[in-house]
Chain A
Amino acid sequence: EIVMTQSPATLSVSPGERATLSCRASQSVFTNLAWYQQKPGQPPRLLIYGASTRATGIPARFSGSGSGTEFTLTISSLQSEDFALYYCQQYNSWWTFGQGTKVAIK
């Protein structure tokens, strides 16, 4: 099983600042990597797939990068609605999710 490790567990950021979230795979997943956003009481929402392609309706302030085992999700200027949990998920070999990064208000 491919293990996905996200860091940090919690990221405290002020509104308007940039947030950078990391995700590491235990073996190469090429660019078969997705990011999801989850708010309390809601299901995950697809943000990014193919490591860098934004899903339909996702604002341009969200961007993804990386390949192989190291990936990054960047939120260029945090809006109030962006404070949430974020999960990475690989789909190269079966489907596994990370444990999440919470983006909190500083």
Chain B
Amino acid sequence: QVQLQESGPGLVKPSQTLSLTCTVSGGSINNGNYYWSWIRQPAGKGPEWIGRIYYTGSTTYNPSLKSRVTMSVDTSRNQFSLNLTSVTAADTAVYYCARERASRSEDVFDIWGQGTMVTVSS
């Protein structure tokens, strides 16, 4: 079965760039039936969608984060990545990668990684 695993630094300094990678196993990221998303969840709060990428490299970002977010995909490694620039303490959260169904009527996140805690602190 498809599994996702996040990786990257757990501590980032303010004003620097947060960089995370999600590795997809048990299935191909080239599957046109899915998008690949990043979602974050601050402690004690609901999740917040950050953005998504298609295997072609096409991206869609949350308007509230768009100026700071870049996503990329590496189909040869079955990975996709997130860069979030100019981070502040407000960006401290558990970051999840997730598979999103590319269907208008079922546009939901059906498989999630375990999540990685990222703290922004000097």
Contacts and interface: CB of A to CB of B under 8 A. Distances in A.
Q: Do A and B come from one complex?
A: yes
Contacts of B113: 43
Contacts of B64: 1
A49 B46 contact: no
Given A32-B105, A94-B62, A46 B46 contact: no
A99 B62 contact: no
Size bin of chain A's contact surface: 20 to 34
A49 B96 contact: no
A44 to B, nearest CB: 6
Contacts of A91: 107-108
Given A32-B105, A32-B107, A50-B106, A44 B112 contact: yes
A14 interface: no
Contacts of A32: 105, 107
B112 A43 contact: yes
Contacts of A100: 46
Contacts of A22: none
Contacts of B62: 94
Interface of A: 1, 4, 32, 34, 36, 42-46, 49-50, 55, 87, 89, 91, 94-100
Given A97-B49, A98-B46, 16 more contacts: A4-B46, A34-B108, A36-B109, A43-B114, A44-B109, A44-B112, A45-B112, A46-B108, A46-B110, A87-B46, A89-B109, A91-B107, A95-B49, A95-B107, A97-B46, A97-B48
